[in-house]
């Protein structure tokens, strides 16, 4: 049993990662591929970048393909899962990573800014999880990993919509974990802190300095830091973990 606990081999497993054309999603796709998983690289608009990730997977000896997924359109979710099952013949790992931000103070926030973020970040994860649960239940094995955020735990000014969506993901994680545990399906969440991506590069330097001062480890994280935790949660090494929220934030939230 000890060998099985520490095993991180995903050969023969199929993983679907949404929002995988760049940033954290890209790093997750590559990390799962490195363990032998066949990876479906989900994207919504930038097919070229998604195909670049597929090329990277193949260059590293892994298998993968790109699939357009508009997570905001929840009616598409069953068709997405059907596509994966038809082509890959199975689905073992679902990583709900796709997300957007439409920051604004609450009193200025437009209804569409609220709904766009909630529908993409939270409702999209609900729809894909619901559709993926049936084949996982039938196989009596599955890993569902939701990418939340530390702001879903502590809140943040000007992000009521984003915070609500990420806090909702944590609640969704815990509820579904209890529902699916008897079928050997684990459901966990990862809450990244300040991770260096294209989105964060655009922030003012003075704000970055302020943020870094709040991090005990004194530096920002990389997408690969988040991917390493996701890779662990997808493996047999995390077989006895479910309903958990793992912070990847350099100690920012304790």
Per residue in 12-71, pLDDT (tens digit) is: 999 999 999 999 999 999 999 999 999 999 999 999 999 999 999 999 999 999 999 999
pTM: predicted TM-score of the whole model, two decimal places: 0.95
**Sheet strand arrangement including 93-96:** 63-68, 38-43, 14-17, 93-96, 142-147, 185-192, 245-248
| Band of residue 3 on the pLDDT scale cut at 50, 70, 90 | low
Q: Could you read off the pLDDT of 73-87 as tens digits, one per residue?
A: 999 999 999 999 999
- Round to whole Å and give the CA distance between 51 and 60: 14
Backbone angle region of 243, left / alpha / beta, with phi > 0 → left and psi within -120 to 50 → alpha: left
Short-list 240, 231, 143, 139, CA closest to 187: 143
| Band of residue 205 on the pLDDT scale cut at 50, 70, 90 | confident
The domain limits of the chain are 2-247
Handedness of CA 231, 236, 238, 239 (dihedral sign): positive
- Residue 1 is predicted with a pLDDT of 46
| 43 is annotated as an active-site residue | no
* pLDDT surpassing 90 at residue 208: no
Beta carbons of 78 and 103 less than 8 angstroms apart: no
* Mean residue pLDDT across the chain: 94
Catalytic residue among 43, 126, 162, 240: 162
Residue list for the binding site for NADP(+): 19-22, 97, 162-166, 195
Residue list for the binding site: 19-22, 97, 162-166, 195
Class level of CATH domain 2-247:
alpha beta
Handedness of CA 31, 34, 38, 41 (dihedral sign): positive
- Average pLDDT on 157-170 reads 97
Q: Which residues pair with 191 in a beta bridge?
A: 247
Q: Which residues pair with 195 in a beta bridge?
A: 221
Per-residue CA distances from 181 to 54, 70, 193 (Å): 32, 28, 28
């Amino acid at each position: 049993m000890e060998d099985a606990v520490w095993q991180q081999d995903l050969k023969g497993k199929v993983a679907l990662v949404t929002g995988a054309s760049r940033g954290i999603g890209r790093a997750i796709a590559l990390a799962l591929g490195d363990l032998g998983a066949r990876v479906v690289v989900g994207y919504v608009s930038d097919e070229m970048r998604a195909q670049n990730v597929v090329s990277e997977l193949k260059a590293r000896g892994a298998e993968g393909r790109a699939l357009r997924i508009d997570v905001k359109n929840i009616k598409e979710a069953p068709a997405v899962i059907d596509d994966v099952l038809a082509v890959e013949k199975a689905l073992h790992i679902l990583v709900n990573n796709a997300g957007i931000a439409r920051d604004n103070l609450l009193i200025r926030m437009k209804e569409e800014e609220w709904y766009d973020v909630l529908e993409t970040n939270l409702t999209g994860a609900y729809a894909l999880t619901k559709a993926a649960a049936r084949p996982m239940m039938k196989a009596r094995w599955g890993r569902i990993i939701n990418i939340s955020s530390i702001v879903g735990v502590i809140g943040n000014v000007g992000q009521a919509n984003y915070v609500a969506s990420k806090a909702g993901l944590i609640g969704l994680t815990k509820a579904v974990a209890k529902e699916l545990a008897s079928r050997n399906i684990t459901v966990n969440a990862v809450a990244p802190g300040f991770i260096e991506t294209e989105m964060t590069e655009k922030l003012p330097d003075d704000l970055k300095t302020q943020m870094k001062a709040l991090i005990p480890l004194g530096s920002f994280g990389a997408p690969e830091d988040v991917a390493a935790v996701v890779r662990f949660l997808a493996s047999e090494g995390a077989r006895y973990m479910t309903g958990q929220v793992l912070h990847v934030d350099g100690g920012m939230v304790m």
